[in-house]
Amino acid sequence: MRARRGISPILSIIILIGISVAGGSLLYNVQSQVLITGLSATTLKITDLKMEKDSQGACYFQAKVYNSGTDFVKSIHLKTTLDSGDDYVLQFDSFGDVLVPGNSTVKELFMPPGNPNCGNFTISNVYSVKINATSVDSEFSIIKSMKVENVTKS
């Protein structure tokens, strides 16, 4: 009877090493993508939020937000409900294409007397303001209260 020859031990070791290296590199790529996705965050801090109204009925609004996350923020919207029941939405457009992590942007707005939106803000009332931020792959929102202050011109 003739002896059958199988795969030589050296060839089988080379094949097993190749399979191990291919599997290890695949797992490494998957793990690094999972870590990058899991560690990225879209987060904003509101560092200043105020509305002032003078005796003539003009309003001065200022909101300053800081990108404290790790993602680039593509858009920021502010929303509140006026005394009339209508939603008031402002878009931040003062930071270019993206707001880089570690940077901040300011939205300042002057509404002259007779502006219907300004007329729907009442002095000393507190309004809930929702700020939405959108990055490439996620969304973040925060709600903060804003009291309308009375300003006297001198």
Q: 41 or 72: which carries more pLDDT confidence? A: 72
pLDDT digits (tens, 9 = 90+) for 92-149: 877 777 888 889 888 888 999 888 888 888 889 999 999 888 887 788 888 999 999 9
Please tell me the predicted confidence (pLDDT) of residue 149.
Answer: 92
pLDDT digits (tens, 9 = 90+) for 21-60: 999 999 888 887 776 666 677 788 888 999 999 888 899 9
Please tell me the predicted confidence (pLDDT) of residue 154.
Answer: 52
Q: 82 or 3: which carries more pLDDT confidence? A: 82
Please tell me the predicted confidence (pLDDT) of residue 3.
Answer: 66
For residue 14, pLDDT over 60 is answered with: yes
Please tell me the predicted confidence (pLDDT) of residue 17.
Answer: 94
Confidence at 2, pLDDT banded by 50, 70, 90: low
CATH code reported for the domain at 44-151: 2.60.40.10
Strands of the sheet containing 59-67, edge to edge, are 87-92, 73-81, 126-135, 139-151, 44-54, 59-67, 104-111
For residue 1, pLDDT over 60 is answered with: no
> How many whole angstroms separate alpha carbon 131 and alpha carbon 141?
5
End-to-end CA distance of the chain: 115
